[in-house]
Structure 1
């Protein structure tokens, strides 16, 4: 197998894994508003974790990686940050239209780029500037902020996006 064959195989596997993850997320995200009437958000999150842990174990046994953390402190911190982000997000999904909740959550990539430029002094090109600009415009289009009818509820998914930012930033 040549280098390009190995690369294309990894890219294909990554694309399949991403597609599977998005299908699973789509199903679970759409289930939240239905379940919010019957169970609490902590129960949903616990149920989601109980389903995910055996799947992670099976994937690790199948050769998709190990489950033993190399740096336990970093794993715990990232897990806690992601858990807080998801609590904010799932709370938002239970209380507002999913499009608004997702738009608020997707502020994290915009914030990552802005913080990287402003505080870490990273240079970004025109393509990334365009992506951030269009992403921000998309968030504004979906959220449709009106200063006269501001609802503090919209800050739930944005808080989730901020904690997601911290979790992703901690990974670097």
Structure 2
């Protein structure tokens, strides 16, 4: 596990690209499943696949001993936050355009950067604030506030963003003492329990059809690989560097929405994407450039 003075933002950025691909695939699968399964059922099946994969990897690689119980409470709080955010996210995907969901979700890195100095003891510089401001202006261009009536899906996406921000902060705290396999084990097992309780509270859990099974596999594997990539990235660089990279998901999902669901891409989306990419490029370039030795340093 990388120490703070061994930050590797370049490698962290590569891991975040993996999370972007995974989240985009999961969004498409979630949209396809929304007509047959509610969000609690979807989360149950997703978590079940995750439990099987994580447990299998832990046993096959001899890392089952890394699953410790000393921070059980912190894992519980993290996964309640994530379960809440993920259910709101899946619900929003079924209600409003994919690009709008992702745009609203991307207020999450803004909250992470602002809260990281309080919870993670990370330095908040004017440059990081400027990067967030530029990135957020791009998000506003893409979301085009006022361009469409605000719906319950809009509020769901905004609520998901706040829950994901807390998830990111708690994940960074856990990476200081817990392994990736430990974090993923608690993620999948706890959320399987949460899903079973919420989906079964009415005594009726829908079984997926054969046609839906491939999409459920995509959701299960995509969710797991996305969190593996993010958790690994957070071990390589500070949260204030890792989370803003996620902005790149927005133009990607806008293109996906246009190709699969005929959701239009406007000039504002393109301009917003340029601002988002530009902000992240400046941030990564600054963090990866060689540091000049301090005067008097050996």
When the two structures are superposed, what TM-score results if normalisation uses the length of structure 2? 0.47
The change in CA–CA distance for 1:125 and 1:94 in structure 2 (over 3 A counts) is same
Q: Distance in 2 between matches of 1:104 and 1:135?
A: 12
What residue number does 1:57 align with?
Answer: 55
Contact 2:119–2:169 (Cα < 8 Å) also in 1: no
| Runs of 5+ consecutive residues of structure 1 not aligned to the other structure | 1-6
Equivalent residue of 2:94, what SS?
A: helix
State the Cα distance separating 1:170 from its structure 2 match: 3.4
Tell me the SS of whatever aligns to 1:68: coil
**Equivalences for residues 113-124 of structure 1 within 5 A:** 113-116=113-116, 124=124
1:27-46 matches, cutoff 5 A: 27-46=25-44
- Would you say the 8 A contact 2:92–2:156 is kept in 1? yes
Call closer, same or farther: CA 1:129–1:166 in 2, change over 3 Å: same
Which residue number corresponds to residue 268 of structure 2?
none
Higher normalized helix content (fraction of residues): 1
1:116 to partner: Cα distance = 5.0
CA change 1:56–1:21 in 2 (3 A) is farther
Give the C-alpha shift of residue 120 in structure 1. 9.5
| In 2: Cα distance, 1:35 partner to 1:98 partner | 14
- TM-score norm. by structure 1 comes to 0.77
Question: Tell me, which stretches of 5 or more residues in structure 2 are unaligned?
Answer: 1-5, 174-298
Q: Does 1:89 align with 2:89?
A: yes
| Alignment deviations for residues 13-42 of structure 1 (CA, whole Å, 9 cap, x no partner) | x66654444433222211111111111111
Range with bigger deviation, 138-147 or 64-73? 64-73
**C-alpha distance in structure 2 between counterparts of 1:23 and 1:89, whole Å:** 17
* C-alpha displacement of 1:127: 2.6
Q: Are residues 88 and 57 of structure 1, via their aligned partners in 2, closer, same or farther at CA, if it must alter by over 3 Å?
A: same
- Count matched residues: 164
The Cα of 1:148 is off from its aligned counterpart by 8.6
Q: Which has the higher contact order (CA 8 A, sep 6+)?
A: 2
Within 5 A, what are the aligned runs for 1:120-139? 124-139=124-139
* Stretch deviating more after TM superposition (59-68 or 89-98): 59-68
Measured in 2, the distance between the counterparts of 1:147 and 1:121 equals 39
Summarize deviations over 1:51-108 as a string: whole Å, max 9, x none. Answer: 1112222333326773334311111111111000101111111111111111111111
Task: Decide whether the 8 Å contact of 1:104 with 1:155 is kept in 2.
Answer: no
Higher Rg of the two aligned structures = 2
CA positional deviation for 1:117: 6.6
